[in-house]
Chain A
Amino acid sequence: MNTKELTKGFFKENPTFIIMLGMCPTLGVTTQVVNALGMGAGVLFVLFFSNVLIAALKNVIPNSVRIPCYIVIIASFVTIVEMVLHAFVPSIYDALGVYLPLIVVNCIILGRAEAFANKNTVGDSALDAIGMGLGFTMSLSLIALIREVFGKGTITLFAIGNWNGVITIPGLYEWPVRVVSLAAGALLLMGYLKAFFQWFSENRKAKGTAK
C-alpha cells in the first residue's frame, strides 16, 4: 500500500491551508465544532466515491466532456448526502444550510478528480480521497474549535444520551470574544493561520536544505 498518497493530505498538501481550495464552506460552517465535523464527513464521503468512480471510469469518459461528467457524478453523491443528512441528522442539515448543496462546487473535489483520479489507479485514488478528506476535516475542526472556544466559550459535540453534547469553558463562556465567531473574525483567523502555515513550511524547507 502506498501510504504517501494517504498522508500527504494531512499536512504537506493540506487542502485548506497549503493548496487553499474549498474556502467557502471552510469559513461558512465553522461556527460550531459539530458542524465542521458534519461538513468534513460529507466532503469525505463525496470525495471518496467520486474519486473512486472517476478513476474507474477514466478510460470510458471522453476527454472533451470530462468536466461535465465529473460534475454530474459529484452532484449525484452530494444529493445522496443531502437526503441522508435530511433524514437522519436534521439538526446538522439545518445548520449546514446552503453550504451542503454547495459541496458540488467545492474546488477540492473537482480539483482532486482533475489532478489525481483521472491519472491514477482506483486504489491510489481511494487513498488520496481519504487523506484529503481527513485533512480537510481536521483543518475545519481546528478553525471551528478556535472560533467556538473563543467566540462562544463552548465546544459543541454530538449529544449522547442525557448529555446535550455541549462543553462549557468557564470564564470564556461569560465573557466571550464575540468577534471571533462573526464573519470578520473568521477571515482574520484564516489570515493568521495561513501566515502560521507559511512560516512553518518555510522553516521546514530551510531546515531541509541546511541538512
Chain B
Amino acid sequence: MENAIEVNNLVKDFGSLRAVDNVSFTVRRGEVLGFLGPNGAGKSTTMKMITGFLEPTRGTVSLCGHDVREEPIAAKRVLGYLPEGAPAYGEMTPRSFLNFIADIRGLKGSNRKERIDDVVKKIHIEGVMEQPIETLSKGFKRRVGMAQAILHDPEVLIMDEPTDGLDPNQKHEVRTLIKEMAKDKAIIISTHILEEVDAVCDRAIIIAKGKLLFDGTPTELIAKSKYHNAVALVMNTGQCEAARMVLLDLPSVLSVEIEELPAGLSQLLIIPKDGQSIVATISDLAHEKGWEISQLMVETGRIDEVFRDVTIGAPDKLTEEEHLT
C-alpha cells in the first residue's frame, strides 16, 4: 500500500456551481503535499471531501485503503484533521478538550497519558492547559487544533491553513514540526503562503476554479517561472543601456529589464530563454567588456509569479509563446 491517500476523479457540485471539477491525485507515506490555490478555488471543499465531512457528487477518496464513504469510521481512525480556522469547543480547556479527543480516539491507560504529554510538549501548549480555549490567542488556538489532530499519531494528516495567523516564529515551529512528522505519515497542508511550499512540501498541487492545474515538486513549480535562472546585475546607470544591447544579442537571453536604483546605479534583470543557466556566460561577458559590476545574483524563480500565471492564465501571452519556440 504505497499510496496513503488516493483521490480519484473528485467532483462536487453546489447547485449549478461546480466547486471541484474532476480532481485526482495521490499522496505517498513520507510525503508532504502542499495544496495551493486562490481563495474560493475549491481547496477547502476538496479537503472536506477527503476527510469525509462532505459527500462528493462523484469520485472516490481512500485513506490507507479505506474508502471514505464505504468505511467512514475506519478511514476517520487513520486520519488527523485540522479544519480551517481550527474550530474547538471554546468553553473547554485544552486539557479537557484533548481528553475528549482521547476518549473518542479510544486511547487508554498509560498510552493515553503518554500521547497527551508528548503532544502537549511538542506543540508547546503546557502553559495554557487550564485556560478556556476561547480566551486563548489565535496562535494558541491553532496549536490546540494541531494537538487534537496529531493526538492519535495518525497515518494521514490533513491541515487546512495550519500557519494562518501565526507569527513568524510560530510559523517556523509549525513547519519544523510538520517536517519532523513527515517521515512516516502522508500529509496534506493547504496554504496560500507560497514560501511555505518550498519550505516544507515535497510536492505541490495548484487548484483554481475547481480544476487541478499543476502537480509536481516545488522545484518543478519554480522552474516554470520565467525568472528561473534569471541573473540580476547591478552596475552604473551610464553603462547599462549599452550592456543591455550586448546582452540581448546573446542567443540564450530572452529579455532584459532595467530598474533604476539610488546612487547612480541600475539593476539589469536578464531573463534567459527556456530557463537555461546563463550566469557563466554573463559573468564572462562582463569580464570581457570590463563592466563595473557591484552585484551579481542568480534568481531561482518567483513562485508567486508562477502561481499567478497558473491560476489566472498567463498575463503575458506573447513572451510565453516566444519562450516556447
Binding partners A and B: no
Chain B residues packing against A (C-beta within 8 Å): none
